[in-house]
Structure 1
Amino acid sequence: MTRGPGDRAPDPLVRVWPLFGLVLTTPRLVLTPVRDEHLPDLVDAVLAGVHDPAEMPFSVPWTDAPRDLLIPAAARHQWRIRAGVSVEDWTINFAVLHEGRVIGVQDLMARSFPLLRRVGSGSWLTRSVHGRGFGTEMRAAVLQFAFDHLGATSAVSEAADWNAASLRVSRRLGYVPNGTALVEGRPGEVQVQQNLVLAREDFRRPEWTAEVQGARGALAFLITGSAA
């Protein structure tokens, strides 16, 4: 059979790993689970800087690693996350693409999701695109996917209490404070972590709706562990 110019052959990897068929499209961004071909651009985005070096917004200070260790560690982390997906405990790391280039990562995670119907999220963006509203757009995309396609009923997030940018994104989307915790940032440094929670009915939806491809296969995989 001859294919027309707009036809694409089915991706054989989706048959064995349904999450690779998942694509979330927003007005400016495309989010899809990190593939190996994303890794070079992802590493470049990390090496260009993710945050002010004087601060540490992550509970695990992974960005402090020397360049020669950070590069292979970034790849190992993505492979480890992918291999660890199970019905009981899963994380999807979405590569965030703007104009075809990886500018960051947005993750979505859950434990005992079939019972609890709660998701969590985390993210980072390369510093050159900070301040353009991408953080809100990409989190709104995964929240729409979680609430409207996976059937989540709540979402949680957290940030250091000094991290105004992250907390601002949460407020815009409807999260409310849910207590604090003391956590270690860099070795020997204590930070106050602000926990947040968002009920599905309180989600402040953007004016746009994300286009979602591959939701059915992803849902079956995450709920039953089956690729069928």
Structure 2
Amino acid sequence: MEPLETIWPVFGLRLTTPRLVLRPIQDGDIPAFVEAAASGIYETRDGHIPFPTDWPNVPDMGPNSARWIWEHRIQANPGSWVIMFGVSTRDGDFLGTQDVASKDFPSLRTISTGSWLRRSAQGQGLGKEMRAAILLWAFDHLGADVAMTSAYDWNSSSIGVSTGLGYEPNGETRTMTSTGTVEREVRFRLSKERFRRPDWELEVEGHAAAAAFLGVPSS
């Protein structure tokens, strides 16, 4: 019988930093995903939340989270994909997720990212470390030229991660959230040349098979 990583090669990806391990979320990780999200991600600030919807606090968060994970997995193809990396400590404690997405990657060589960490893991530099891991993988292994991200203008933690890694402002838009709040969303762009690389090396496993599955020639 073939191992799951052979059938779905993205599952063989593993990115390791000094403190973290990033792996694409599998079904066995979903309970830990739900528990981490339910334990608290943020404190609502006068009706402001850092996501378009207040998904961690809805009654059906568990089933909706599983659907969200499965939908991205089912829809992945060489022309459009989202990889939802589960972020854990080296001891296996689930802390949050770091997502990376792209459309027409072989032509555009552009990725976008999004992430969250459970509140108990915030304020320790882990958000910057896990974003740096994705950028190292994207620039040095996938062959990306540009990385994009965004955050609401009051989200200083997310903006600090971006600017600390070398992202530059790239316009803005206005967004209506599920709570009825209008938010100013600021966008950021990072070229490979402007990336402020960390002083540690990223360990990468399973890249070649995953890249081929995503339609990206291995660099």
How far the C-alpha of 1:60 sits from its partner, in A, is 3.4
Match of 1:70 in 2: 61
Contact in 2 for aligned 1:56/1:186 (Cα 8 Å): no
Out of 8, 22, 28, the position equivalent to 1:37 is 28
Match of 1:213 in 2: 205
Match of 1:155 in 2: 147
Match of 2:40 in 1: 49
Match of 1:21 in 2: 12
How far the C-alpha of 1:187 sits from its partner, in A, is 3.7
Q: What is the identity percentage for the equivalent residue pairs of Structure 1 and Structure 2?
A: 44
- TM-score scaled by length of structure 2: 0.94
CA distance in 1, matches of 2:57, 2:30: 19
Structure 2: where are the runs of 5+ without partners? Answer: none
Paired AA for residue 44 in structure 1: E
1:199-210 to structure 2, matched below 5 A, reads 199-210=191-202
1:135-150 to structure 2, matched below 5 A, reads 135-150=127-142
- TM-score scaled by length of structure 1: 0.90
**When the two structures are aligned, how many residues end up with a matched partner?**
214
CA deviation digits over 1:199-220, x for unaligned, max 9?
0010000000110001101111
Moved more, 76-85 or 27-36: 76-85
CA distance in 2, matches of 1:96, 1:111: 23
Out of 78, 84, 87, the position equivalent to 1:96 is 87
SS of match in other structure, 1:131: coil
How far the C-alpha of 1:224 sits from its partner, in A, is 6.1
Out of 112, 119, 140, the position equivalent to 1:127 is 119
CA distance in 2, matches of 1:199, 1:113: 15
Match of 1:165 in 2: 157
CA distance in 1, matches of 2:216, 2:3: 21
CA distance in 2, matches of 1:222, 1:148: 16
1:77-92 to structure 2, matched below 5 A, reads 77-92=68-83
CA deviation digits over 1:9-64, x for unaligned, max 9?
x9700111000100000000000000111111111101101111333101233234
Instruction: Quickly say closer, same or farther: Cα 1:73–1:143, change in 2 above 3 A.
Output: same
Determine which structure has more spread, i.e. the larger CA radius of gyration. 1
Match of 2:51 in 1: 58
Over the residues paired in the alignment, what is the CA RMSD in angstroms? 1.5
CA distance in 2, matches of 1:116, 1:21: 25
Contact in 1 for aligned 2:53/2:179 (Cα 8 Å): no
CA distance in 1, matches of 2:146, 2:86: 23
